[in-house]
């Protein structure tokens, strides 16, 4: 379980950083966000979804860690 928790946190933080950098670079015009457009979704929405997925993965990983700490102190 410790491996899964650590993996979720690392992957989540990495995706969050990549997504935030992508949005920031797109906002200042370094990269063209339309390259990431899929169907009717704009490029900003797609890159933002990467950052949001990263936040969710990190939250799950940290939540597992917090849950383990609670059970250690009770049991």
Average pLDDT, the chain: 90
pLDDT category at 75 given cuts 50, 70, 90 is low
State residue 23's pLDDT score: 93
Question: What would the two tokens of residue 56 be?
Answer: 């969710």
Global pTM value? 0.84
Res. 1: pLDDT tops 80: no
Contacts of 71 (CB under 8 A, 6+ apart): none
Dihedral, CA of residue 30, residue 36, residue 39 and residue 45, to nearest 10: -70
Q: In the prediction, which pLDDT does 71 show? A: 83
Report the pLDDT averaged over residues 41-53.
91
Confidence grade of residue 73 (pLDDT, cut at 50, 70, 90):
confident
């Amino acid at each position: 379980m410790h491996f899964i928790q650590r993996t979720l946190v690392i992957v989540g933080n990495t995706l969050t950083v990549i997504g935030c950098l992508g949005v920031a670079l797109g906002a200042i015009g370094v990269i063209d966000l339309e390259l990431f457009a899929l169907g009717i979704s704009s490029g900003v929405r797609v890159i933002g979804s990467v950052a949001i997925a990263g936040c969710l993965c990190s939250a799950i990983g940290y939540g597992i860690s917090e849950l383990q700490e609670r059970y250690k102190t009770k049991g």
